[in-house]
Amino acid sequence: MIYLDNSATTRPHKEVLDTYIKVSYDFFGNPSSLHTLGMEAEGLLTKARTAIASQLKVGAKEILFTSGGTEGNNLAIKGTASHKKSKGRHLITTEVEHASSYETYKELEQAGFEVTYLKVDSDGRVSLEEIEQSIRKETILVSIIHVNNETGTIQPIEKIGQMLSEYPQVRFHVDDVQGITKVPLNIKKAKIDLLTASAHKFHGVRGSGLLYVRDGVRLKPQIHGGVQEMQMRSGTEHVAGAVSMAKALRIEMEKAKEGRADLVKLHSKLIHTLPKIEGVTMNSPLDGVAHHIINFSVDSIKPEVLIQSLAQKKIYVSTKSACSSKLAEPSRVLLSMGKDNHAASSAIRVSLSYETTEQEIQFFLQEFKKIIPTLLGGKK
């Protein structure tokens, strides 16, 4: 099997699963319970929070556990909008956000908020000047994805954060689901107020995520019924999920020290070989991108047909975002970058991890070259 859909989800590391099972079985107490089992569970939760904070170089009390990226984005955006609406109702984001952010903003518009959706250039990158020009006295939140989940485009988060620090009334939220462990980001230097991450994107277990909430930033809870997670996210804590996420983050941060250089080599192999194949057009920019995401289109072949043909060879890739891949419409992200309807409707995404090998990429390219003429021949 050659798995090249790591931006959709990653296979959990075996040691991460071992930790998840052990904590689930041996430390099953509710962290809110006052007896020994509860206190043991609470102790593990505290250790996981501290370990994650250490990896991200933030304070332990700034880490809030969630169920994943979608909840984290919803809580950051809705929680800020609800908490600060008396100060203003203007929000700023981009046209290329992940659906969990983009659709949240669409819903807030229905609730009476005004949203500015910033355009991007042909590389999918937002303009720092346009962000600043869009800020008003009623602006309370700017939300920008760090690494685009479809194309790998990296936004200039540190520059944006430095600029926004001149506007203390504006909160800065970053969706770092695709960037964490792959593209370095100094949260404090970038002056980020809120940052979302999800465990299953870095070989953790699904159903676990985190939201960094800078000390002093308040959110209106979106889930009610308890005082867990600094009174911002009610519900019995997922202790096994948090502890195994801390282990996955540590493992991937360690692998990143050498793994990023390997990803650069694999990315270079793909972007220089794919365009030479009949009908292939690259959608991801060549520069300023995360090296684990490559997006391209193939002329005259439906993406679902190509994906299934590769799957028969036990090679797994995807179309656009996994959250939207079953929807037939063209990619909103690629259309925003100025790609035509055909390119936006026929995009393929190959996404790597530190587990991906050069041999796997070579085999993928070899089989891909064989499949294209076969599929095109069937159309003649």
How large is the average pLDDT for residues 52-61?
A: 98
Segment 269-278 shows an average pLDDT of: 95
**What local confidence, expressed as pLDDT, does residue 321 receive?**
52
What pLDDT, on the 0 to 100 scale, is given for residue 301?
87
**CATH 3.40.640.10 segments of the chain:** 14-251
Identity of the residue numbered 58: V
Average confidence (pLDDT) over 59-84: 97
10 Å Cβ neighbour count for 18? 13
CATH number for the region 2-8+257-377 comes to 3.90.1150.10
Task: Indicate whether 20 pLDDT > 70.
Answer: yes
The reply to whether 323 belongs to the active site is yes
Helix residue ranges, H only, 181-281: 228-231, 239-273
pLDDT tens, position by position, 303-350 = 999 999 999 999 999 986 545 445 568 999 999 999 999 999 999 999
Distance between CA 137 and CA 89 in Å, rounded? 10
Residues paired with 66 in a beta bridge: 209
- How many CA atoms within 13 Å lie on the side-chain side of 223? 19
Q: Residue 380 has what pLDDT? A: 44
Percent of the chain with pLDDT over 90: 86
Query: What's residue 379's pLDDT?
Result: 54
**Residue range(s) in the chain whose domain bears CATH number 3.90.1150.10:** 2-8+257-377
pLDDT band at 354 (very low <50, low <70, confident <90, very high): very high
Measured between alpha carbons, how far is 189 from 187 in angstroms, rounded to an integer?
Answer: 6
Classify 14-251 by CATH class. Answer: alpha beta
Q: Which of 17, 60, 322, 323 is catalytic?
A: 323
The model's confidence at residue 237, banded by pLDDT at 50, 70 and 90, is confident
Number of H helices, E strands in the chain: 12, 12
Q: Model's pTM, two decimal places?
A: 0.94
16, 189, 192, 222, 306 from 160: Cα distances, Å: 35, 11, 9, 27, 38
Cβ neighbour number for residue 26 with a 10 Å cutoff: 13
Write the DSSP assignment of 276-288 as a string of letters: GSTTEEE-S-SSS
72 pLDDT above the threshold of 80: yes
pLDDT of 85 above 70 = yes
Q: pLDDT tens digit string along 218-235? A: 999 887 877 787 777 878
Q: 276 falls in which pLDDT band (50, 70, 90)?
A: very high
Question: Does residue 355 surpass a pLDDT of 80?
Answer: yes
